[in-house]
Structure 1
Amino acid sequence: MSEREHTHVLLTDDDRQWAELLAEDIADAASECEVTLATSAEDALEKLSQSEFDCVVADYRMPGADGLELLDQIRDTDSRLPFLLVTSQGTEDVAARAIEAGVDDYVIKQFGSQQATQFVSKIRTAVDQYRLQQALEESEQRYRTVTEESHDAVVVLDGLRLAFCNDRATELLERDRDELRGEDVVEAAVHREDRARLREQLNRWEDGETKPRLEEARIVRPDGTVRNCECSGRPITVDGQQRLLVSLRDVTERNRRERELQWERELNRTVQQVLVDSETREELERQIVQQLREHGYPLAWICEQADGELLPRVVRGDRRYVDTVEKAIQDGGRTSEPASRAAATGEAQFCQDIEEVPACEWRETAQTYSYRSCAAVPLAYNDVLYGVLAVYHDHSGRFDDTEQRLLGELGDTVALAIHTLETQSALSSDRVFEAKLQIRGSYYLVDLARSGGFRDCEGITVQGTVPLEDDSVVQYLSLQIGEADVVRDRLESHAAVEDVVVVDGGSPARLQVTVTEPVPEAMLAKRGRVVQSTDVEGTCATITVEVPAREEVRVLVDHLETTFGAVSVSAIRERTDERRVDRRPVVETGLLTDKQRAALKAAYFNGYFEQPRRASATEVAESLGVSHSTFLRHLRTAQQKTFGVQFD
């Protein structure tokens, strides 16, 4: 083994006795190491300005500037000088953060002579990598090679043994750098059937073969997984000795991705065009299933749920299967038709071989029309199920990982497009339907009304609902008669109520209620529907909501019943939206983000805009669970967008 080059180490620790003992042990264990002591970060910086050092070892906890602050100051003048951080037991999280900040490695402080062995190993590793990198950069050819191959795994070989490898190489090989150093890399990491061929090519590269050549080889990881790689190599000189630099590029996914990318490009191109051209949901759905039909699926259809059944909206291909199969929504496992099961579970369903499905009605129907595999993807956006997209094929095994991923992404895209089209349609129409939905089920306000919680009030009105990031919501309630403090205490008695604040104790009184369970107003808003008000009287909550079409009411009822139980319709009336007839500016739903809308609503209902203000920015921010600066940023952006609609 060749003699190691002299290494000057700066050891920084305010515990001078421990540092002196460690310095002696390091010198005994590594004759090439010369250790200079510093007792503080300030002392270390002074010594660095006076002498050249190959590595800095610093304790994390020191009076004045700590180890990380010392690192910051060193990096101002030397961005790559090896730096090891010493931490105490229990502060490994600090060490992990330090690695992200630029520390080369860390050592947990212990006491005893064996500690020096660990320090020497880590010092040598850091210094060796630093010196080898410097050597590589000194050569223009080597610098160009490293730059060109920077996105690949890079190893430097001495013969066939590893002298250096970058982080990408350790990730590819899934082996520790210290474990590999000095090992025969071909023997340790290359598939046995590829070793002889790769060794021959390594020899040709080492002999200076100038003709560009890529060699494929399989890398076997410790867990037995195999990665296909392309390798290229060229000789370099390090410290006057010839070495071989080899770059490895993981191409395992390349063949799979080629087909995936081809279909993805075709699908994205056609879908994006469909999204641009479609002005209604019906038109969008027709073109989507047509594209899937042209892609090779004998049958494609989109359905929605209504009254516990699947209602086909558009079908392309032989629709006899769709007309014949049982369409009741149920989750009976594999014996449920996949579209039905997708609607029931909200999860994508893939059947690779229909013949392997247990005997059931839908399997027999599918086999009658020669279908061998199928898939059903829920069209869901913002927790709202708009329907199911289903496709069928006459070959088994049709849905590999790529097909499943792309169909899932298509389902998400179509659901978002449906949401956008329906929202735009509702906002642009000057005719709307106003529906009154009565909830008598498990809604916290109904629970309290049923138990007499609002007996002293003529009624409770929900003036606004603001979703929070943790899935809870803030609701603003108004009561004409009744003591606000009494109602607050009764609200706080409900398990779903986390907090109640009396915003205004006058008449009418206003309360801010934080609720941890779903509320119907938030669910309707997620569907892009405008909730005008909620009135709680007797043992019933009546929600007045705007819908673009009469048939939409049944869909909303079904949607609410899944969470709140009994929901009924007390009235539906068609009316003219005077704002749109008069062409008054309307702030559309999609103009503001959820956070901007929440900030604007919370400010309004808390009286932030009133003079004098009934709530400060800090108080409104606290009600939303965000910082003062975050609230103001979202509020100002929302105001600018809102005013822009009015005045631009």
Structure 2
Amino acid sequence: MPGATSIESVSVLLADNEPSFAELAAEMLGRVDETLDVTTVTTAAAALSTVEERDVDCVVSDYDMPGMTGLELLEAVRERDENLPFVLFTGKGSEEIASEAIAAGVTGYLQKKSGREQYTLLANQIRNAVGQYRAETELRQSEQRYERTLTGLHETTRDLMRAGTKHEIYRALVETAGDILDVPIVATYRFEPTAAALEHVASTPGTADTLDPDRTYEQGDGHVWETFSGGELSYVPDVSTGPAPADDRRRQSEVLVPLGSHGLLVTGSEVRDGFDETMIELIQILAANTEAALDRAEREQLLREHDRRLTRKNEELTRLDHTNELVRDITQGIAQATTRAEIETTVCERLAASDRYLAAWLAPRREPWSPSAWAGIDETYADQIRADGADAPEVDLVTAALDQEHVRVVANVLDEPTWDPRRTTTLTHGFQTVLAVPLTGRERRYGAVVVHATAADAVTERERDVLGELGEVIGHAIRSAERTRAMVTDERIEIELDCGDDHLLFNRLRSALDRPIQLEGIFQRTSGLRTCFVRVPADLPPDESDRLADEFTAIDDVSIVSAGEDSTLLDVTVAATPFLETLVEYDTQVVNAATTDSRTTVTLVLPSQIDTRSLVEAIQAGYPDTELVARREHRTETAPDHRPQQVTEHLTEKQLEALHSAHYSGFFEWPRESTGENLAETLDISPPTFHYHLRAAQRKIVDRVLDDRPRR
């Protein structure tokens, strides 16, 4: 151990020009101290040669010798080893020689005398000098080892700081502790916050033979966890009497050092008390350097992740900006289009012309395998879609998009088994991502735009949202174009439906009243409610209207408008029902509705451009027991200026409400079937207000029909 002064065997070189005295002195020193191994020479030259050839712990020399004095020999020895003990043992005892010897740096000075005591004194001087020499030598060597180790640790620190990942740092820590510090047992554990446990990362080969690499230390798990959670170094000189038994049987003593919040370093020795203060300090230095390296790696990892996130966000924002510009371009284009065909063509052409997408085509709702418009693909590809029919892989994509009213994406057609038959074609055309954007407007579904992109997974979530909003804009544009066309054309389609579904309001009224009913007309109130004028046989009990309002959740109010000899006219104010909402979405009007037994026959009029099948399917979705009985097309001969839309377009909502109410209630019949007071009560206004709105509406209509005077 450092600082030890015990001497087991001492090699002594004794130089004296008197051979007999040299032999005597050697024999006497051996008798005084058996640990002294004395070699004699009679010249200084022989002494120097011996010092150079073999290890000598101490030189004892006479002063007077031929060719070189004892002090000159000292100077020569010092040139080879400035710290080697040198005792001047001389017969000349003058103060001048003693002073000169001390000045020259002799370790000891002793004057020759007679008697045994002088050898005892000489042996003591030799033993003390060698003990001090060895202690100083060991200290110097220890310091040199410490410096070399520190240098190695500093070099390792550079390696740690250059390590790219935490695992590389843990690996370098283990190798450094094993190679540079020469610690036989080394293991590192990293803290996993999710599992709240210390998990084994790396260990030296010798450690791995006895230490279970799958061992983890969970919260509160013994001395290892306590040391990590406490954040302070722990030295256990004897694990057999320590706070916890070692899981490695070879480990007799151990030093545990937390690595901050990152984990723990475990070092062990195969002997008890196997770590001195210097080694513990070096282990601490290594652990501190490792912790700094782990902190640096963690910061760099966070910075890299932050940079990656920023890069992704910038890329997403760039793509989103391009998509927004494209959306604005498409929106401006469809705003100038006047027909549905123009809208579909504009959308496909501008999508295909953008840098983001390769091609686009329009999949109709009824037959999604039959493109109605396309751009970026040739007719051969469109014909292949038609040839595949309902088995085309695009059909499932379009159907899902329409059913969910959400953009659906195939991120990579190469990974989709359903696209196997089309894989060669898609690769030939150069696209991998396919998405379907549903076109919806006010609950109407007009099909979907199928868009192709070149790279795999080329569409981000935010981009999908923007495209989804674009689909709604396109849907509303198509709806607006169809409504505009319906306003300027006289072509109409009349269909007759037979519905026996119990959920239909008319069938429920028929069942509740136990008598047939006839719908005279429906109009929407300014409050959002709808008023249905329903005619029933005259024998309706007076309290039936109150009962209906209480019994039906969908009915807001029921009142008797008029009670004649043959029939009673009821005002049934209802909230929105699926049937009525569907008619509004398809711009469809109810011409007539009559119930017989438990079924209702409904006659509807819809614009010619409305898909009759889609309307019927939409009604059947809410009322399955519905059948299409008849379909008729007809064209009216009304003059352009006298179309209903042009005649009533200048009426206010209140005026139109009063006009509808008067018309459907028989107010204009003679004799009148309803009175202004009854209708005012139905509309929840005063009679003068009702008459004011009705007369204003009549005046505007007459002005519109008869001349072009300004209208108020």
State TM-score, norm by structure 1: 0.49
State TM-score, norm by structure 2: 0.45
Larger Rg: 2
Normalized per residue, which structure has more helix?
A: 2
